[in-house]
Chains A and B, each alone.
Chain A
Amino acid sequence: MTDDARTVPAPDATPMARRTLLDLAVGATASGVGLLALLPAVRFATPPAQPTPGASGSVVGRREEFGENSARVVNLDGEPVLVLALPGGDFRAFVARCTHLGCVVSYNPAREQIECPCHGGRFGCDGRVLAGPPPSSLRELPVVVRRDEVMVVRG
């Protein structure tokens, strides 16, 4: 046995290392090809961007339809918009999606707050965060009142 050990080249690392290297090369090539194939697949699965409608005003109702200190959520091109009739008689409009995780918000006239039912976010009548986890204010949209028609401008 000791003779054998002397004549045969000592614990030979080369063939093993060669095999490891080969395995590594095959694995890396396969992963690379797989990743390259994944890229067009992900691009395919991402729908092409649709052109967004330009700035436009939408009539959301007549002034007398809104009671003082009340609000309603309207659907403008698939986006919820909260139209708020303030106690003084002014109107404000906000994109009615909570800035936390996008839940539709609603108005609480008793507290004069805009509230999110999902995680308890609360906003003032100016859209600013009062409490809860939302990281930023609601996005405000301009409101125009013309001849008793309330119009929200999107763009």
Chain B
Amino acid sequence: MEPPDEAADPMPIRALLRRLAGVHVSRGDGLTFVLLAAVAMLLMAVEAVTGVLLALYYRPTTADANDSVRFVVTEVEYGGLVRSLHYWGAQSLIAVLGATVAWAALRRAYRAPHALAWISGIALAVLAVAEAFTGSLLPWSHRSVVDAQLSSSLAAQLPLVGPLLRGLMLGGSQPNDLSLVRILGLHAGVLPMVASICIGALCLHAAGCAPRHPSAGSLSLSPHAALRAAALAAVVAIALLALSSLLPPHLGASAEVARASAAGLRPSWYLAFVHQMLSAAPPKMIGLPSARVLVTAVALGVATLALFPLFDRRASRAGQVAVLVTLAAIVGGTIRALLH
């Protein structure tokens, strides 16, 4: 398979690609992972392309942002579709990455040698939520103003770094012009860059783990697994296109920062759980404001889940139960908060 003299090959990457195409994946978990990863990659590509297109018209100031997005939706050709694809792609990506993490937990895929993949996977899921969230602020609608204010207050509840985080995010104590530039920088620069690092780590891990030789119940990545992945990706692409054409996301009117009230707004579904816990809590818990305790607990919970392989090196049964109970609580809490 490999060229006789590797030093003479002007593009050794071809040899690497041939080797990657030649790996085999197991018919069960391996194939599932390839399929989930293919759908996630498709959605990320949709987000990247539509995101670059949307950025062509976006103006990050509190006075212009809302109008610039409205201009895209109402005037620019295919503007409504591009924005809709960007929105529904993001929602689907959160769902797919969430499902991947849940599946990995069920299969105990945080055990050695998959620790790095588990940490990267959780990081990607959290980054997808952060992207959806920062993205929802960019149109600077009434809802964005309320969310920016509320989320920066939530961030400020974290011990030690909280107030610093709020200052960094907003560029002041209240949402202002600087906030939008910073949010755009996070949304289109910092978060995608961190996500790329996680994807790179996942790819290296997958390439390193995959068996080079066929065994009973395995199939080759190329073409057998790749064809199945391509078929699934095509179905997802058509579904996404249909969803985006039929249900364009709402674009609310702009609002004055000092008077934007949250009355009549529902929190985004991926944060509904957190908001319901905040509402149900008493003013003080263990002698501290309850918001501070809850926000810290949620942050610690996600960090513990991500770093779980480091705590549970022997991958005990009790460890898996703890992971599954945590995930079930998040899913159950979200459903309950949405039905409320």
Q: Which residues of A contact B (CB under 8 A)?
A: 42, 45-47, 50, 73, 75-76, 78-80, 100-106, 117-120, 129, 132-135
Count the A-B residue pairs with Cβ separation under 8 angstroms: how many?
A: 80
**Is A103 a contact of B149 with CB atoms below 8 Å?**
yes
- A20 vs chain B, min Cβ distance (A): 20
**Is B278 a contact of A119 with CB atoms below 8 Å?**
yes
- Mask: chain B, 254-266; 1 = CB below 8 Å from A; 0 = not: 0011111111110
Checking B154, B164, B282, B284 against A46 with a beta-carbon cut-off of 8 angstroms, the contacting residue is B164
Checking A42, A50, A105 against B164 with a beta-carbon cut-off of 8 angstroms, the contacting residue is A42
Which residues does chain A contribute within 8 Å of B263, judged by CB atoms?
A: 106, 117
- A55 vs chain B, min Cβ distance (A): 19
Q: A42-B164, A101-B291, A103-B149 are in contact. Are A117 and B278 (CB under 8 A)?
A: no
Which residues does chain A contribute within 8 Å of B174, judged by CB atoms?
A: 78-79
Q: A46-B164, A75-B258, A133-B290 are in contact. Are A102 and B153 (CB under 8 A)?
A: yes
**Is B262 a contact of A117 with CB atoms below 8 Å?**
yes
- B305 vs chain A, min Cβ distance (A): 24
Which residues does chain A contribute within 8 Å of B167, judged by CB atoms?
A: 46-47
- A110 vs chain B, min Cβ distance (A): 15
Which residues does chain B contribute within 8 Å of A133, judged by CB atoms?
A: 278-279, 281-283, 290-291
Q: A47-B178, A78-B258 are in contact. Are A101 and B150 (CB under 8 A)?
A: yes
Q: Which residues of B contact A (CB under 8 A)?
A: 146, 149-150, 153-154, 157, 164, 167-168, 171-172, 174, 178, 256-265, 275, 278-279, 281-284, 289-291
**Is A79 a contact of B164 with CB atoms below 8 Å?**
no
Residue in chain B with minimal CB distance to A79: B258
**Is B282 a contact of A104 with CB atoms below 8 Å?**
no
**Is B153 a contact of A101 with CB atoms below 8 Å?**
yes
Complex Cα–Cα for A46 and B171 (A): 6
**Is A103 a contact of B168 with CB atoms below 8 Å?**
no
Residue in chain A with minimal CB distance to B261: A104
Complex Cα–Cα for A46 and B164 (A): 8
**Is A101 a contact of B154 with CB atoms below 8 Å?**
yes
**Is B258 a contact of A80 with CB atoms below 8 Å?**
yes
**Is A118 a contact of B275 with CB atoms below 8 Å?**
yes
Checking A45, A80, A119 against B275 with a beta-carbon cut-off of 8 angstroms, the contacting residue is A119
Complex Cα–Cα for A106 and B262 (A): 10
Complex Cα–Cα for A80 and B168 (A): 23
Checking B150, B259, B279 against A73 with a beta-carbon cut-off of 8 angstroms, the contacting residue is B259
Besides the known contacts A133-B281, A133-B282, A135-B289, 12 further A-B residue pairs in the complex with CB atoms under 8 A apart? A46-B168, A76-B258, A79-B174, A80-B258, A100-B289, A101-B154, A103-B150, A104-B146, A104-B262, A133-B291, A135-B283, A135-B290
- A48 vs chain B, min Cβ distance (A): 10
Complex Cα–Cα for A105 and B263 (A): 9
Complex Cα–Cα for A100 and B260 (A): 16
The 4 closest A-B pairs by CB, nearest first: A75-B258, A119-B279, A101-B153, A117-B263
